[in-house]
């Protein structure tokens, strides 16, 4: 029993990070129709910016957090403005964006490597452990799950209830009609990149605090985010969160019974099964013609 | 004169779709734009609302050249557009769709007031205010698309094939609503494939063929089968 609970908690912890990434990816796909795999390096960038400010320069925690959010938001928006928007103007279709996003992912990783070196960075963040019902949770882990849930909740709320959020969803449904109604879709896309990059920065910070930062992890994070959004149904924000929970928990089960080496293989296996048998995902919308 | 189009040319890339079209719409009229597929009807509408860039000619709104105003500026000028194909936002609710129609309204009170009057006009929408638009029937979606365009209280409403894909009974409902709208003072410019319908509700019409105006005149003249025949086959 304790084992099951502990696996569950660890799975939710991983899912807290994946959800921040997958939610942003799925939302970006909905509003811009781009699978922004370079999002992985935006996460890494946020994590390193936080580490640099907090551990290297000794800034107070809150200042380092704000700095990381700004760095990631700027990186995400810059990728959109200088690459995707340029391609859009030229009438690029799916494959062109895919090549561009892979190039950005590689380039971003190279920049992080050049600035910070290949050695992983850790915080050695001090935290206390709590035990209840035979399950061990650290204070930090509790805060990670709470922060992630809060951020995703705020994000969902703005999408659902604010005028700007509704305009974003309208743009996701039909860009041309949104423009006919006077919605500035270019501004919508820019804001979508800024918002999801902020979520990405949060993911990077949480990864840095709980695990460690590795310049090459952007690819894997992007793939996990991709997998979670496919499982949930591409374009569905809620689906991406559920997909993250599934991946997080299944990974922990596999790690527990099979060893850590099988962890990523499990993600790919689930992704493969979904692509094969349920490509529209759990909450994928079947669009009417 | 509300809308005056002089020698308009437009196209896509090297393909010239409109080869010099002239057309007029007076305040309070219902003008039908007829013609076979590929005649350039949709392109003409898209050029008016700025979705397709004109290559030559003039589009005058109340005597003033619209030039290359962006689409949202036209909305504020009082030109509304209902695109082809009942294009509602399927994942948004009926209310959210209408709110998006009033996206450019600055005051919440104006938005609420206009929303109220659209719902008065389209009572079917009132009962489904919280439903996702994608779940509505075809006729309801068309009503919603029209209602959404009314949120900015346009003086001229441009509709691209409002009857497309609708059952005859629903078509009649949609056109009756349009007639009511016109009686309330809104000028209408309608592209329509269904000639019978268009002529029943319009006061004047243009027949477009191969990017040019083949015939224009009052509905009675247009109803002459020989004229129709000439225009469509020429």
| Burial annotation A112-131 (CB, 10 A radius, 16+ → b, else e) | beeebeeeebebeeeeeeee
Asked if A205 and A68 touch (Cβ cutoff 8 Å), the reply is: yes
Q: Report the percentage of chain B scoring pLDDT > 70.
A: 96
pLDDT value, residue B234: 53
* A178 interaction partners in chain B (CB closer than 8 Å): 89, 100
CA separation for the pair A93, B55 (Å, rounded): 26
Pick from B49, B100, B152: which is nearest to A167 by CB? B100
* A187 interaction partners in chain B (CB closer than 8 Å): none
CA distance B99 to chain A (A): 8
pLDDT value, residue B233: 60
Q: Which of A90, A91, A169, A180 to mutate to test the interface with B (most CBs of B within 10 A)?
A: A180
Say if residue B226's pLDDT is above 60. yes
Domains and CATH numbers, chain A: 2-116+134-288 (1.10.3470)
Question: What is the residue whose two structure tokens read 């760095």?
Answer: A71
ipTM at complex level: 0.86
CA distance A132 to chain B (A): 43
* Residue pLDDT, tens place only, B194-214: 877 788 889 899 988 888 888
Q: Which long-range contacts (CB under 8 A, 24 or more apart) does A98-107 make?
A: A98/A35, A98/A37, A101/A34, A101/A35, A101/A36, A101/A37, A101/A38, A102/A37, A102/A38, A104/A38, A104/A41, A104/A79, A105/A37, A105/A38, A105/A40, A105/A41, A105/A218, A105/A219, A105/A222
CA nearest neighbour of B195 among B25, B35, B9: B35
Read off the pTM.
0.87
CA separation, residue B24 to residues A142, B5, B31, B36, B76 (Å): 68, 6, 9, 20, 21
Note whether B100 contacts A179, CB cutoff 8 Å.
no
pLDDT value, residue B231: 64
Note whether A178 contacts B99, CB cutoff 8 Å.
no
Q: Report the percentage of chain B scoring pLDDT > 90.
A: 45
Say if residue A207's pLDDT is above 80. yes
Beta bridge partners, B189, equal B31, B158
CA distance A194 to chain B (A): 22
CA distance A285 to chain B (A): 9
| Mean pLDDT computed over B226-233 | 66
Q: Tell whether B99 is within 8 A of chain A (Cβ).
A: yes
* Residue pLDDT, tens place only, B68-125: 677 778 888 899 999 888 789 999 999 999 999 999 998 899 999 999 999 999 988 9
Say if residue A267's pLDDT is above 50. yes
Q: Which of B89, B97, B148 to mutate to test the interface with A (most CBs of A within 10 A)?
A: B89
Q: Tell whether B69 is within 8 A of chain A (Cβ).
A: no
Q: Between A131 and B145, whose confidence is greater?
A: B145
Beta bridge partners, B58, equal B6
* B76 interaction partners in chain A (CB closer than 8 Å): 182
Q: Tell whether B135 is within 8 A of chain A (Cβ).
A: no
Say if residue A56's pLDDT is above 70. yes
CA separation for the pair B94, A171 (Å, rounded): 16
CA distance B175 to chain A (A): 22
pLDDT value, residue A128: 83
* Residue pLDDT, tens place only, A147-197: 999 999 999 999 999 999 999 999 999 988 998 898 999 999 999 999 999
Pick from A178, A180, A288: which is nearest to B49 by CB? A180
Confidence of residue A96 (pLDDT cuts 50, 70, 90): very high
The contacts of residue A240 (CB under 8 Å, 6+ apart) are A19, A22, A23, A25, A26, A27, A225, A228, A229, A232
* A171 interaction partners in chain B (CB closer than 8 Å): none
Q: Report the percentage of chain A scoring pLDDT > 90.
A: 70
Q: Which of B85, B91, B142 to mutate to test the interface with A (most CBs of A within 10 A)?
A: B91
Residues of chain A whose C-beta is under 8 A from some C-beta in B?
Answer: 163, 166-167, 169-170, 172-174, 176-184, 285, 287-288
pLDDT value, residue A24: 95
pLDDT value, residue A287: 43
Asked if B185 and B2 touch (Cβ cutoff 8 Å), the reply is: no
């Amino acid at each position: 029993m304790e084992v099951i609970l502990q696996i569950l908690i660890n799975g939710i912890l991983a899912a807290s990070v994946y959800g921040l990434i997958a939610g942003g990816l799925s939302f970006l796909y909905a509003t811009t129709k781009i699978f922004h795999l370079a999002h992985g390096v935006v996460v890494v960038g946020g994590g390193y910016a936080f580490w640099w400010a907090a551990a290297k320069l000794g800034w107070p925690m809150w200042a380092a957090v704000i700095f990381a959010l700004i760095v990631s938001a700027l990186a995400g928006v810059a990728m959109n403005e200088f690459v995707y928007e340029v391609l859009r103007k030229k009438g690029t279709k799916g494959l062109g964006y895919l090549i561009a996003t892979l190039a950005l992912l590689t380039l971003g990783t190279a920049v992080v490597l050049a600035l910070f070196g290949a050695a992983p960075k850790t915080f050695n963040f001090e935290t206390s452990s709590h035990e209840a019902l035979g399950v061990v949770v650290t204070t930090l882990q509790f805060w990670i799950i709470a922060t992630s849930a809060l951020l995703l909740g705020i994000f969902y709320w703005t999408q659902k209830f604010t005028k700007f959020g509704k305009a974003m969803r309208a743009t996701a449904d039909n860009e041309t009609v949104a423009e006919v109604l006077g919605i500035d879709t270019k501004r919508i896309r820019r804001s979508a990149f800024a918002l999801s990059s902020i979520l990405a920065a949060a993911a990077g910070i949480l990864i840095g605090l709980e695990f460690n930062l590795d310049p090459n992890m952007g690819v894997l994070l992007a793939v996990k985010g991709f997998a979670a959004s496919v499982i949930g149904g591409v374009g569905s924000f809620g689906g991406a969160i559920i997909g993250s929970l599934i991946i997080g928990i299944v990974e922990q089960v596999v790690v527990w019974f099979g060893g850590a080496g099988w962890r990523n293989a499990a993600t790919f296996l689930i992704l493969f099964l979904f692509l094969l048998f349920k490509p529209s995902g759990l909450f994928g919308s079947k669009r009417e013609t | 004169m509300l809308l005056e189009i002089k020698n308009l040319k437009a196209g896509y890339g090297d393909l010239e779709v409109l080869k010099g079209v002239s057309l007029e719409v007076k305040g309070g009229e219902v003008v039908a734009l007829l013609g076979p597929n590929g005649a350039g009807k949709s392109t003409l509408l898209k050029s008016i609302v700025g979705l397709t860039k004109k290559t030559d000619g003039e589009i005058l709104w109340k005597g003033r050249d619209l030039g290359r105003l962006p689409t949202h500026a036209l909305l504020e000028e009082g030109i509304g557009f209902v695109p082809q194909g009942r294009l509602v936002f399927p994942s948004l609710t009926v209310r959210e769709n209408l709110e998006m129609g009033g996206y450019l309204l600055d005051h919440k009170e104006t938005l609420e007031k206009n929303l109220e009057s659209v719902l008065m006009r389209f009572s079917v929408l009132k009962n489904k205010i919280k439903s996702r638009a994608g779940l509505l029937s075809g006729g309801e979606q068309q009503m919603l698309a029209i209602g959404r365009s009314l949120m900015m209280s346009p003086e001229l409403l441009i509709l691209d094939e409002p009857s497309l894909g609708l059952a005859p009974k629903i078509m009649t409902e949609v056109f009756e609503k349009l007639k009511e709208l016109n009686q309330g003072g809104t000028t209408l410019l309608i592209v329509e494939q269904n000639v019978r319908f268009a002529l029943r509700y319009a006061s004047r019409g243009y027949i477009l063929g191969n990017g040019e105006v083949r015939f224009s005149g009052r509905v009675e003249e247009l109803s002459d089968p020989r004229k129709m025949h000439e225009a469509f086959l020429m």
